[in-house]
Every structure is written in C-alpha cells, then in structure tokens.
C-alpha cells in the first residue's frame, strides 16, 4: 500500500480518528480491524500503532471526539451563564443537529462503549461532570432542588436517547424542528412553574 504523505502528528491522529469513525460505522466495532482503519486513512499499520495502542484505544478516541466534544461544548457555553431558557434552546437545537447529521451513532457502537471499561469510565466521568454542572446552574436559576434539577436533565437525555433509537430502528423521518419545539416548550413550562429567573 502506498502511504499518504507525511503529516504533523496531530493532523495524522485526527485523520486516523476520522477514518475509524467511518470504518466503525460501516463494519461495527467487532467487525472492524486496525488494518481496515489504517487502509482507510492511507497509512501503514505501523503508523497507526504509533498513535494508538490497539482498537480499543482508537475507539476511545472516537468517543472523545464525538460525544465527549459535544459535552465539552455544552459546558463551555454554560460558563457564559446564559439565561436559562436560552440555554435550554441552544442545547436542544444543538443535539437535534447532531442527531440529524450524525452517521456513527449506532446501537452496536454504544453497546461496545458500555462493554469497554476505559470507554465506560470516560463516559461516566464526562456525563457526571455535565449533569452536576448543569444541575447547579438550574438550581441557581430556579426554585428546583439539586435532585429535581438532575432529574430534569436525565428526562431530556432520555428523550434524546429515545429519538436515537427511533432514528436507527424505525422507518419514517423525524421532524426535528417540531420535536425540538415540543421539548423546549415542555422544559420551559416546567421551569416557569419552578420560578426560573429569566422570562419565557
């Protein structure tokens, strides 16, 4: 195989992650091999192993680049202390955009993410960080307790997970705009009941 031109390490690593996303999406985690990923990236297996120890290591990088990056973006936006209803709108529309465009979110990949301890621990850590930070923010801007704030976040998360299953398992298009409007409205009504500080 002819190897692609030498690139800076950071760019090469990103290229390998992009290739892995495509290969995992097409073949699943169990069906994909490091050789498949190297071939897709246009590099030798030796070049791949310079950046990653094994397939699990690559998979963890893929999870960090997709779900992890999305969570970090939410937390960065939260640091600006936006009005609570604007925050809800941004999070819902952002997730809807990801759900609409994302091609690598498959049930098999998330099943593997649960089975691989390093990936499971990473996801538990970043999700926990996200839930705790958003719960503190909601509590500060409403009369909700910490536990009720966390429950509200998990309800939103459960809705998104249900939409992912619908996208992957059932025929028929999802009207993302209508769904986003309904989710936002539901959360705004709940927050209004609990005296969210900004106007709806």
Predicted confidence (pLDDT) per residue in 27-73, tens digit: 888 999 999 999 999 999 999 999 999 999 999 999 998 888 889 99
Q: List, for residues 79-125, the tens digit of each pLDDT value.
A: 999 999 899 999 999 888 888 776 555 677 778 888 999 999 999 99
Q: Which pLDDT band, with edges at 50, 70 and 90, does 4 fall under?
A: low
- What residues have CB less than 8 Å from 176, skipping those under 6 apart? 96, 99, 100
User: pTM of the prediction?
Assistant: 0.81
The per-residue pLDDT of the chain, averaged, comes to 86
Residue 176 in contact with residue 121, Cβ under 8 Å? no
Spatial distance between the Cα atoms of 59 and 37, rounded to a whole number of angstroms: 11
Query: Is residue 37 packed enough to be buried (19+ CB in 10 Å), middle (13-18) or exposed (0-12)?
Result: buried
Q: Which pLDDT band, with edges at 50, 70 and 90, does 145 fall under?
A: very high
The tokens 């939409």 sit on which residue? Answer: 163
To the nearest 10 degrees (0 to 180), the angle between helices 107-115 and 9-31 is 100
């Amino acid at each position: 195989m002819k190897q692609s031109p030498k690139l800076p390490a950071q760019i090469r690593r990103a290229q390998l992650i992009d290739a892995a996303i495509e290969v995992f999406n097409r073949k699943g985690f169990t069906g994909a091999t490091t050789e498949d990923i190297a071939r897709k990236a246009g590099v030798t297996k030796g070049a791949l192993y310079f950046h990653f120890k094994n397939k699990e290591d690559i998979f963890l990088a893929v999870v960090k680049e997709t779900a992890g990056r999305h969570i970090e973006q939410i937390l960065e936006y939260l640091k600006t202390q936006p009005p609570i209803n604007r925050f809800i709108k941004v999070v819902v529309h952002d997730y809807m955009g990801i759900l609409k465009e994302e091609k690598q979110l498959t049930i098999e990949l998330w099943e593997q993410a649960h089975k691989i301890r390093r990936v499971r621990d990473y996801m538990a850590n970043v999700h926990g960080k996200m839930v705790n930070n958003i719960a503190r923010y909601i509590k500060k801007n409403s009369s909700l307790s910490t536990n009720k704030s966390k429950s509200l976040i998990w309800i939103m998360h459960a809705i998104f997970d249900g939409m992912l299953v619908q996208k992957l398992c059932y025929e028929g298009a999802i009207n993302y705009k209508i769904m986003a409007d309904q989710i936002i409205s539901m959360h705004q009504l709940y927050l209004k009941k609990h005296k969210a500080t900004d106007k709806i």
